[in-house]
Structure 1
């Protein structure tokens, strides 16, 4: 069963899946390099994104739902950008962090859309107007972004106590402002143009909620 788009940027489903496998292989190399050089922070920043790329396979196994190839590549690309950033681009190029936050925020926005759409379809008594969905997606992403920034501060604090480099880098107040700004950009992109990519995920979440009415 599939519902999500199987293409992205004109790539066929097979090419999308091949790109996902290539990204997984590259991330595995980064994890191996980090283990060899005993860089714990890099191990975490590469191993977790690598695990995230297997989310479509996990969903297929646990819920018998085939996530679209385009969405799978979208997830893998966001994971890859973060892992590569930990190798140095985050510190070398100020714009790289902005791109990563924007791409990651689009996925968080997709999750927010899936949740609110599933709630809307869960029962006759629930009716979520389009304007509220738009606001919910934006607030959902910004709330997640605030939690992420708190995590960065906590990581820096922990590193100062136990020693070593923080797992999540934090570059000051200006960095927080720009991070949240580009999170909002990603949220707006999905809210205005990208919700269709997450309709299948919304349907899956709705079934987990025990949806009692069909979507309009």
Structure 2
């Protein structure tokens, strides 16, 4: 269920030229451009960088995989139990997961939520699931870094991203993230994650 307008289109029209870039606010939120159909993402949490290479533990317990979909107009396609709210410009300002709590950790629905405040084309404020975050994008809609502060007492974290590869459309396909976390009264801890994206596109040829 999507409330309000369609996402703001930032790029070309249906008569797009091959050299033009198609963008929408939804695609930008996910660090994407062009007619993306789906993105399969794998985040590896046991990573050791060294020189020009990165050692990655690919065992299942150390990787989280997700997939998102977009229609041909650049709209994010919510799953059945997701709820998305938009502002007057069609930008996503709230996301909610209302899947039934099948594991019965607590009663009712999961109701994980994220709210977004679009400060500028390069800065996003978000809150939800116990954290408040500021995310900084570059002009290519890639996340340069993010600072996260827990709403309650807990660890503060910051992440800086190094982009290692991209596809022919300029969408990144692999990045190394450097995380710094610090609990109150403790020394900072540095860790690494590696994210890989398999991006599919809509075929608009007749």
Task: Give the TM-score of the pair, scaled to structure 1.
Answer: 0.23
Task: Give the TM-score of the pair, scaled to structure 2.
Answer: 0.24
Say which structure is richer in strand. 2
RCO comparison, higher one (Cα < 8 Å, 6+): 1
